[in-house]
Amino acid sequence: MHEIDIPQAIVDLAVQRRGRLRLFEHVDPQRTAHLIIDMQVGFTTPGAPAEISNAVAIIENVNTLSAACREAGVLNIFVQNTIDDESKSTWSNWFEAFWTPEKRVGMYATFAEGSPGHALHPSIETEDSDLRINKYRFGAFIKDTSDAHALLTSRGIDTLIITGCATNICCESTARDAMMLNYRVFFVCDATATHTDAEHNGTLATMLLTFADVINVEDMTSMLTA
């Protein structure tokens, strides 16, 4: 689990800007969705091409929050990183410039839909009431990456709770775009994970200051049950 340490200067600036630390004091469960980002075998298995070793440590917290969401009537949506032939072509810069040829081939095999690496980690708890969607870029909301925005707006959802991995890549990308699409965003600091504490805390600082209400599992759960 990451050691959370948001610089006090960032906290002070956030409070100075808006007059309070907590952005949102309540949630309407019927208008809220919990996005669980990329908690897949390909990110949580030692030695996998895209291994994020800290992701395993947040599984219990993710499950706790998912259960609280179900109890409150909040929709859980498991978002899965996916690579297909189209994304290999239209996002070739990412695959060809940022990965060695060997690791690139491993990524393709790991995150093809239906592959073992594409599946959710076996310790992630799901129910029939939960949804699953694929995404083909870091964020879930850019054009053609997934049908998340259409799905959420069709259900009248305007508030998002974000957990999963990686904190500073797919979770952050999703949260940034969600806020700019006018969603209220909760970013759960102890149910997100990445490679290092420095990366994790850098994103939490950015989220707190500009994009989301940074909250822990205990406080988020309390808000859901209030």
> How confident is the prediction along the chain (226 residues), in pLDDT tens digits per residue?
899 999 999 999 999 999 999 999 999 999 999 999 999 999 999 988 899 999 999 999 999 999 999 999 999 999 999 999 999 999 999 999 999 999 999 999 999 999 999 999 999 999 999 999 999 999 999 988 999 999 999 999 999 999 999 999 999 999 999 999 999 999 999 999 999 999 999 999 999 999 999 999 999 999 999 8
CA distances from 165 to 88, 156, 221 (A): 21, 26, 20
d(CA 166, CA 24): 24
Amino acid 150: pLDDT: 95
- Note whether residue 97 is domain-resident: yes
Domain containing residue 157: CATH number: 3.40.50.850
d(CA 121, CA 75): 20
- Note whether residue 150 is domain-resident: yes
Amino acid 49: pLDDT: 86
Amino acid 39: pLDDT: 98
Amino acid 1: pLDDT: 85
- Note whether residue 118 is domain-resident: yes
- Note whether residue 204 is domain-resident: yes
**Catalytic residues, which ones?**
38, 135, 170
- Note whether residue 62 is domain-resident: yes
Domain count, the chain: 1
d(CA 30, CA 157): 7
Amino acid 183: pLDDT: 98
Amino acid 104: pLDDT: 93
- Note whether residue 209 is domain-resident: yes
d(CA 22, CA 208): 9
Provide the residue range defining the domain that includes 135. 8-225
- Note whether residue 181 is domain-resident: yes
- Note whether residue 186 is domain-resident: yes
